[in-house]
Amino acid sequence: MRISNRSTRPGPQASCGVRIAAALLLATPVFARGAPPPRFDLLPAGKGAATGSPLQIILLLTALALLPAVLMSVTPFLRITVVLHFLRQALGTQSTPSNQVLIGLSLFLSLLIMQPIVNQVYTSAWRPLDDGTITSAQAFEIGSKPVKTFLLRFAHEKDLRLMLELTHAPAPARPSDLGLDVLVPAYILSELKAGFQIGAILYLPFLIIDLVVASVTLSVGMVQLPPVMISAPFKILLFVLVDGWNLVIGSLMRSFYQ
């Protein structure tokens, strides 16, 4: 049995291609001797600004990491997910619908509600900033006004007072003068309260079914049979007959447009 002693060196065509690629790469201005490295500015650099590209990248990645929490807390996503979670627990279907389905439904419903606000922020703040007619500070101030208006619609006065007391901030002359540091936590507390109230109401009809089934099974003597196994089909049947998804989602959406 003969073993061929073939060389593992690249052929003339491969070595020629490598040389051409290296020559073209070295001929670019980036690799030219004495040429400065390329600079990518993510934030507009002002006079005396010390935010270089590495620091800007770190700030951008930090903002992207916090973006999901902001979207879940400052949008209708919070109330919708809480209500859908209570609904699934009341039905007793364990993991059906799955978390991915509930989150996807909540996300698209939140986008539907927030679309006018996003369009207003884009038209009044982002587009002038992109054109260079206003600064980033002015864009933030202009773009935060529609968001503040939305948060003020659903933030309860009691929660706003609590946040003002915790921050030791003076009460403003107008509600629109409140800062986002007060509005955002007050809005979150108000949405949690609204979500729990709706969830408690959703629990009532299914709780009645559980009580009736439990009393019937105990009176018949079926002690070892869990009542949940019998009540679950009745709860699902009731929910389907009354078109529960239409009622729940419709009531949720109307609560944001009132």
Mean pLDDT value of segment 209-223 = 78
At 59-74, the pLDDT tens digits run 778 878 888 887 788 8
Q: Which of 51-65, 67-81, 128-142 tops mean pLDDT? A: 67-81
Residues with Cβ < 8 Å from 126, sequence gap 6 or more?
A: 139, 143
Q: Is the sign of the CA dihedral 51, 53, 59, 64 positive or negative?
A: positive
In terms of DSSP H, where are the helices of 74-98?
A: 77-91
Write b or e for each residue in 24-56: b if 16 or more Cβ atoms lie within 10 A of its Cβ, otherwise e. Answer: eeeeeeeeeeeeeeeeeeeeeeeeeeeeeeeee
**Cα–Cα distance, 50 to 52 (Å, whole number):** 6
The answer on pLDDT for 32 being more than 50 is: no
Task: Quote the tokens at residue 214.
Answer: 């439990």
Better pLDDT: 230 or 154: 154
**pTM metric for this prediction:** 0.71
* Average pLDDT for the chain: 76
